[in-house]
Structure 1
């Protein structure tokens, strides 16, 4: 997909609009499948982007689905994923939501002793489960998205192994999978190897183990010079470690990963319009027709998105601070070099496929943007832009 395609999409569908390039998703998925042994499976982390068309496309590529809410499970089933290709990994939910997932016959991953005990007491070995382990590995590019450290709410601590085995033996639990996820933006393949070795140490305590799920966290580059997770090197290292373990123990496990951002991030382009150029005594602001209600990552995670001026790609470079139209501080970029921006120019935020639309809101009673899928050389509207009536559709007037 070219910038000319993006300009045409902005002209046809307006702005703000999220655009996803199907070819990019396919390329990233095939890069993973070609880097790992054919027995390794990949479950797309739906929370990155759940548009039903994206789910269907990724399902057709051959991936499974990783879900963190019961509604993601239902979306996955509606998109055509079979129940045995869905893993449900909730956090801080009650037993009722776990039981709802049981009725849908998907794989279930439990991440705390309380629910593990309730589940085992009620169901024993009648429904096989996964257990999510907190490996106490600090990894990832931002503390807010690091999930495997000692202070994380996710998973059962490796130091609570005896509690897990106590529940397993006393309730006859059938544990067929172990899971861990240490965070996002992991640059060093050795983090995964360290985690895998921890899993091997734990495995001897679970006689019915079939699956080891290493989560994900593959880093994608957000700006020039960024390091990307070397999945080819990781694939070779993982295959070597698995082969050594099999030789020593005689045991083979099916290995799973859960890429989310890695598959969809670079596919996404967020199109906006410059509303106003505002010069102050210290700064030149580009005020756009969006805000953190549409793309919260820069304010929430201090994330960097490359911004390009599609309308004036050869204009002289100038320094701007790019801000939104929300009645809060919503700065996308401070002192950023851009080709000269004029009012009504179309700008694009790159790498906006993951956690962009998915984390959007109606803050300030502003409407959510449209979504477009660029597939086989054509732009397809896959979510209409909200209209005013959408703000009222679930409200009940009593006055």
Structure 2
């Protein structure tokens, strides 16, 4: 298509073409007619461009980019990153199963999470994953037992809690001493010495992840200094660390947010790593939201507009089971009509059909809409479908992956039969 485009701010692969909202070269209203609503639509090129910024940042380095798949674990999305050479950061046995289902290399898998079960450890060892990010001293003991019973040695790094404020929402902060994640900074050296004595473990690295939706470089720099100090202290005891894992957490633009570009951020971080004398180590990172967040939109139909004395409501067919971030984090996501009207906008609270007052998608949004119109909730590629539920016995939405002018259904809409299949009546 050669029609003039109107780009949406912060959304290089989402634009209006002759007034119609498109993802890459595919009109969203056509996809809604074909697949119904709510509907998630993702831009493959946006994902690859986001990944390319990290790849530029690490050019010439011994580095492994592991996609943090909790952000979006749909198989069609995982295949994009597997084909691009990424590893994967997993937090459950189920996520490992998804990685293997798309043919990814298990040796590029990092297993994070505070509550790994013995069964999950055994599954990961059998698959041959690259490394366990151990999050407590108790986990060291259990993993050692599981590895010895399997006749293997588990490759490990220990996740450190550096007590650094990521300046983000408290629910997605993970590097403060009041958070559940990682081993306390002042217990790190002793934990490594203990791990090195356990016969079922092979100590290979160190790990740190301080939070999500981080929009400043300073928390990363603060955490890096603390981690490199620990590397020096650990290696002074005779334990060699082959890799340094700095986690992920880089934010995206939801509403005028200005996180540093991935390549610019890593230019700063690598300069500090080199200055400290660790430029020869393998580096690992685990980006999630920054690779998929702005790649996705959720298309929804306006069911009703409901005027009120204090509030006007725009009721759409997407709900908190599809888009949980506003209810969980009071998060902001832009909401735009697919085909704007030429009338006067009114202020609406955009809400879903679920029987909860917390079922809202946006507060006080200026919209000119009527029943039957379609709207797009932007920045819906991360922590939407992966957190979706069947609350109110609602089926999970369909998903489409767009590549240029081609649109592929990567998840069909969930039916009631799908939901009931695993249930049975008692007696």
Instruction: Flag whether TM exceeds 0.5 (same fold).
Output: yes
CA RMSD of aligned residues (A): 1.8
Alignment of 1:334 onto 2:356? no
Question: 1:1-399 alignment to 2 at 5 Å?
Answer: 1-2=14-15, 3-4=21-22, 5-39=27-61, 40-106=63-129, 107-120=131-144, 123=147, 126-172=153-199, 173-204=201-232, 205-206=234-235, 207-223=239-255, 225-246=256-277, 252-329=280-357, 330-338=359-367, 340-399=368-427
Contact 1:189 1:230 survives alignment (8 Å): no
The CA deviation at 1:202 is: 1.5
Aligned to 2:94, the other structure's residue is in SS state helix
Which residue number in structure 1 is paired with residue 11 of structure 2? none
Contact 1:140 1:217 survives alignment (8 Å): no
CA distance in 1, matches of 2:268, 2:347: 44
Aligned residues: 394
Deviations 1:337-360 (A, max 9, x none): 12x110010010000000111111
Deviations 1:210-255 (A, max 9, x none): 11111111110101x3212332332221221122122xx7x72111
| Farther-moved stretch of structure 1 (316-325 vs 348-357) | 316-325
Runs (5+) with no aligned partner, structure 1:
none
Aligned to 1:276, the other structure's residue is in SS state strand
Which residue number in structure 1 is paired with residue 9 of structure 2? none
CA distance in 1, matches of 2:420, 2:302: 28
Aligned to 2:386, the other structure's residue is in SS state helix
The CA deviation at 1:176 is: 0.4
Deviations 1:105-150 (A, max 9, x none): 1021111101112334665793321111111112142000000001
CA distance in 2, matches of 1:24, 1:169: 42
CA distance in 2, matches of 1:36, 1:59: 18
CA distance in 2, matches of 1:122, 1:390: 35
The CA deviation at 1:96 is: 3.2
The CA deviation at 1:78 is: 1.7
Contact 2:66 2:89 survives alignment (8 Å): yes
In the TM superposition, structure 1's runs of 4+ consecutive aligned residues that sit over 6 Å from their partners are none
Deviations 1:353-390 (A, max 9, x none): 00111111111111111111111311111111111212
* TM-score, length-scaled by structure 1: 0.94
| Farther-moved stretch of structure 1 (175-184 vs 233-242) | 233-242
Runs (5+) with no aligned partner, structure 2:
1-13, 16-20
The CA deviation at 1:152 is: 0.7
The CA deviation at 1:317 is: 2.2
CA distance in 2, matches of 1:239, 1:384: 43
| Farther-moved stretch of structure 1 (349-358 vs 114-123) | 114-123
Contact 2:302 2:315 survives alignment (8 Å): yes
The CA deviation at 1:14 is: 1.1
Aligned to 2:273, the other structure's residue is in SS state helix
CA distance in 1, matches of 2:313, 2:354: 14
| Farther-moved stretch of structure 1 (211-220 vs 389-398) | 389-398
Contact 2:397 2:414 survives alignment (8 Å): yes
Contact 1:47 1:355 survives alignment (8 Å): yes
| Farther-moved stretch of structure 1 (307-316 vs 371-380) | 307-316
Deviations 1:279-332 (A, max 9, x none): 112221101112101111001011100000113354432211111100011111
Deviations 1:150-187 (A, max 9, x none): 11111111111243034124325421011110001212
* TM-score, length-scaled by structure 2: 0.88
CA distance in 2, matches of 1:54, 1:189: 28
